[in-house]
Amino acid sequence: MEPKMSSSNDDNTWLQVVVLISGNGSNLQAIIDDTTTPDCPFAVSAVISNNPRAYGLERAKRAGIDTRVVNHLEHPSRQRFDLALARAVDEYTPGLLALAGFMRVLGPEFVGRYPGRIMNIHPSLLPRYPGLNTHVRVLADGAGEHGASVHFVTPELDAGPVIVQATVPVLDKDTPDTLAARVLAQEHRIYPQAIRWFAEDRLRMKAGRVRLDGVSSTRPTRLQ
């Protein structure tokens, strides 16, 4: 049975977002920073990390947000980890789960508990470069452009419908680190924007497609 999910749709309050992290949490910080603007239509109710040392946990505490650790090393299988994670998430009855540098692959049962209510940020122009080490692979291929994507999460890794992207040019002098830094700056722009659209009921996943402002599209919005 699907857990009860609150949303701005049914109770006329702010969308409650639970953010899942594994590390530094700079995307989490961008999301938290957005909630401090007066017109922000969402709130972060909890931050959950699989990694007890994730710096993002400090960022959340500093902002007065509940934190939880569900350590994958303390669970004998992915299914058991996913179940423990779902229990922690469901304590907050969020309207949206935002994966922000969350480095565990979630199984189909977990994803199926929250249909159309999980987003992820990925450092490439999906469907190009799913998976890890995107910046190294982009440079190795001599690609001319790179970027970041926010997408809805479906059971297949990095393959859910893409909501919004931002591009950066690849420069001759780029290293993986310089390229990653420019892409990350774009991630910090597009992730809060996608969450806002969702909170404002402008954005949904319908029949496996992104629907933004009533228009179903196979092409993601590009933010300049």
Residues forming contacts to ligand GRF in the complex (CB under 6 A) are 23-27, 100-101, 121-123, 184, 187
Looking at the Cβ atoms of 40 and 185, the one nearer to ligand GRF is 185
Cβ 191 to ligand GRF, closest distance in Å? 9
Q: What are phi and psi of 21, to 5 degrees?
A: -135, 170
Whether 135 sits among the annotated catalytic residues: the reply is no
Cβ 9 to ligand GRF, closest distance in Å? 27
Q: Which two tokens stand for residue 62?
A: 């500093």
Looking at the Cβ atoms of 7 and 134, the one nearer to ligand GRF is 134
Cβ 216 to ligand GRF, closest distance in Å? 26
Out of 72, 122, 135, 188, the active site residue is 122
Cβ 149 to ligand GRF, closest distance in Å? 9
Looking at the Cβ atoms of 132 and 171, the one nearer to ligand GRF is 132
173, exposed or middle or buried, with CB in 10 Å at 0-12, 13-18, 19+? exposed
Instruction: Give the 3-state secondary structure of residue 182.
Output: helix
Looking at the Cβ atoms of 82 and 158, the one nearer to ligand GRF is 158
The beta strands (E) that lie in the chain are given as 15-21, 42-49, 66-69, 96-99, 118-122, 145-152, 162-169, 203-206, 209-212, 215-217, 221-222
- The one-letter code for the residue type at 85 is L
User: Angle of helix 176-199 relative to helix 134-141, nearest 10 degrees?
Assistant: 120
Active site residues: 122
